[in-house]
A = this chain, B = another copy of it.
Amino acid sequence: MRIKHAIMIGLLGAQLDRFTTYSGPRPLEERLEIVHSLEGVDGIEVGFPGEFRDLTSGLAQIKGSGLAVSAINQNTKQDPKWREGSFTAADPAIRAQAVQEMKTCMDLSAELGCYMVHCCPLIDGHNYCFQADYLKQWEWLVETLSEAAAYRRDVRISLEFKPYEARNFNIVADTGLTLYLGTLVGENVGLTWDLGHALIAGEAPARSIALAGQAGRLFYLHYNDNMRDWDWDMLPGSVNVWDLVETLYYLDKLGWEGWASYDVLSRSGDDIVQSQVATLKVMRLAERFLDKLGRDRLAELIARGHPYEAVPYLWEAML
């Protein structure tokens, strides 16, 4: 296993929920400086269209930063045009735009050397019974993603599933569905696996990682945490200690190599940077705790399958 750690530079700006604005935007330059000041960062995840409202200057600034890019994060929810959907909008012109922007992101990702477009299509889905034509929505999803995937097979499209929010029922909802979708649209379409999203989908996180890894579609990671009820975007390891360690154990077993970034929301207003620092710290501590537990010992415990042995072992290791 080799996890490279990226900072989502979009996260270093405004943070809000629907009631309260916790912090305001910061110019790209300032955010890149922050990244430079942090230890243990391997690169950045860059938002589109966010950082590319002016394509040339955006590209120049990103390249000029000298930072490795993990992925282009295509946002299809913030601009008003997406209010009724993106890849599954009833309006064909909107769907075409979503595809066109994905192709642009694919080219950008190639130019920036990562060959990875990450997209979490949060505006695609529905809220109410009798609000959407599910048959058409699925056809549109397969059709638009297939077109994008075929545009260039050297770039990977990494879809981040999430069961709900912004829609009550997002269409790219969980690990199984995204793997199924992948079989329909192509080998360069896989998963951004987000720990918090897996938790709210009711999945056993490490099992989902194992499944996506076996399928050869585990492209990218997002880590954070929550209480399995809502995507609170909390610090990793702040709730589900064993799931964090177990996912690392399976990434290791899969020999997985790639990028992780950290969707962590701060709701105090002045601690975005400290939250990212704490996140990276916990991720490294979790890897060291896995070392302390010992991979072979864990493999034995798994083979024996007795929680009455494994659980006390984990607690003993904490002392």
Contacts and interface: CB of A to CB of B under 8 A. Distances in A.
Interface string A223-257: 00001111010110111111101100110011000
Interface in A263-312: 266-269, 271, 274-275, 277-278, 281-282, 285-286, 288-289, 292, 298, 301-303, 305-312
Contacts of A21: 80
- Name the residue in A78, A166, A278, A282 with the highest tally of chain B Cβ atoms < 10 Å from its Cβ: A278
Chain A interface size range: 35 or more
A135 interface: yes
A214 interface: yes
Given A176-B173, A229-B202, A292-B319, A19 B308 contact: no
A285 B316 contact: yes
Interface string A1-41: 00000000000000011111110000000000000000000
A91 B230 CA distance: 29
A206 B90 contact: no
A310 B90 CA distance: 17
Given A241-B242, A285-B315, A311-B235, A230 B303 contact: no
A178 B238 CA distance: 28
A310 B128 contact: yes
Given A20-B77, A235-B307, 7 more contacts: A17-B18, A83-B268, A135-B250, A173-B202, A175-B176, A177-B177, A285-B312
Closest 8 CB pairs of A and B: A176-B177, A176-B176, A134-B210, A278-B308, A129-B242, A285-B315, A180-B180, A128-B307
11 contacts: A127-B234, A128-B235, A128-B310, A130-B314, A169-B207, A235-B307, A235-B308, A268-B306, A274-B306, A285-B316, A317-B318
